């Protein structure tokens, strides 16, 4: 199927309230333009350099989401334009984003990335770490950041029950946090598991290969 057909196929499966982040990492600007022309405005990238290059070449009304691990020394390159950083996985990075956002006189939206997968994953906060950061945020420690939700990735497996269990854990945490502040975004689900994620309460999904086709290398 073409990119256009893929895009419509995915959009048709998403309920009205579910936001689509089109994950364009490794795909060229021309492919992003195609999807942009179909009306898509939210795109996700996982590497800072690739993101800044694409940002400079593409229409300025794109809302860029960073979905990959971010190093503190790279925050400055995206702080001026990034819409949402979905991959906040430490206090250190949150502090740095807050600092750089202040320089640009902005409030940057972030999601706390929580480790929900059973498999050993490198990045993500434990539930307790996420709670602690959220508590600090609610106290006003990070004035140039707005924590608008949570993000998680399920284990890479065909076991739907396992995936469902992991997504439900994050949904429970999301509901828990929501008692202290209304959170907008529960970001779970990728090309292979977004229907399960939506059943479990996701209102934002990050879909790459099902729109743009397979990537040349795993990332
Ligand atoms: C690459 C990536 C996606 C999209 O994955 P697909 O399987 O291509 O849909 C979603 N979320 C994160 C964090 C990613 O790195």
208 in ligand 1 pocket by Cβ < 6 Å? yes
Give yes or no for a contact between 84 and 104, defined as CB atoms under 8 angstroms apart.
no
Tokens of 8: 């419509």
Biggest alpha carbon distance in the chain?
49
Tell me the whole-structure pTM to 2 decimals.
0.96
Which residue carries 């590497």 as its tokens? 47
CA–CA gap between residue 174 and residue 56 (Å, rounded): 34
23 in ligand 1 pocket by Cβ < 6 Å? yes
pLDDT value of residue 217: 57
Structural domain includes residue 219 = no
Structural domain range at position 128: 3-209
pLDDT tens digit sequence for 2-33: 999 999 999 999 999 999 999 999 999 999 99
> How many domains is the chain built from?
1
Is pLDDT above 60 for 107? yes
pLDDT value of residue 208: 98
CA–CA gap between residue 5 and residue 207 (Å, rounded): 14
Structural domain includes residue 34 = yes
> Residue 168 sits in a domain of what CATH number?
3.20.20.10
Structural domain includes residue 218 = no
Main-chain phi, psi angles of 184, to 5 degrees: -85, -35
Is pLDDT above 70 for 219? no
Q: In angstroms, what is the span from residue 8 Cα to ligand 1's centroid?
A: 18
- Per DSSP, 153 falls in state E
For residue 212, the ligand 1 atom closest to its alpha carbon is 8
Structural domain includes residue 214 = no
Average pLDDT over residues 78-89: 98
Give yes or no for a contact between 109 and 84, defined as CB atoms under 8 angstroms apart.
yes
Tokens of 153: 């990735």
pLDDT value of residue 152: 98
Q: In angstroms, what is the span from residue 23 Cα to ligand 1's centroid?
A: 6
């Amino acid at each position: 199927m073409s990119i256009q057909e893929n895009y419509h196929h995915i959009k048709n499966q998403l309920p009205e309230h579910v936001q689509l982040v089109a994950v364009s990492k490794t795909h060229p600007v021309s492919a992003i333009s195609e999807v942009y022309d179909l009306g898509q405005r939210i795109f996700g990238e996982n590497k800072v350099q690739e993101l800044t290059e694409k940002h400079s070449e593409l229409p300025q009304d794109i809302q860029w989401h960073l979905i990959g691990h971010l190093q503190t020394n790279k925050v400055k390159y995206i702080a001026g334009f990034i819409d949402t950083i979905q991959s906040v996985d430490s206090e250190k990075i949150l502090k740095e984003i807050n600092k750089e956002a202040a320089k640009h006189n902005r409030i940057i939206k972030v999601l706390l990335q929580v480790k929900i997968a059973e498999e050993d994953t490198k990045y993500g906060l434990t539930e307790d770490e996420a709670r602690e950061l959220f508590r600090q945020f609610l106290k006003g420690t990070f004035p140039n950041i707005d924590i608008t939700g949570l993000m998680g990735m399920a284990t890479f497996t065909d076991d739907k029950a396992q995936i469902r269990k992991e997504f439900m854990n994050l949904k429970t945490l999301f509901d828990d946090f929501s008692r202290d502040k209304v959170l907008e975004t529960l970001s779970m689900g990728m090309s292979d598991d977004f229907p399960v994620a939506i059943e479990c309460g996701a209102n934002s999904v990050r879909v790459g290969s099902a729109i743009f086709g397979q990537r040349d290398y795993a990332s």
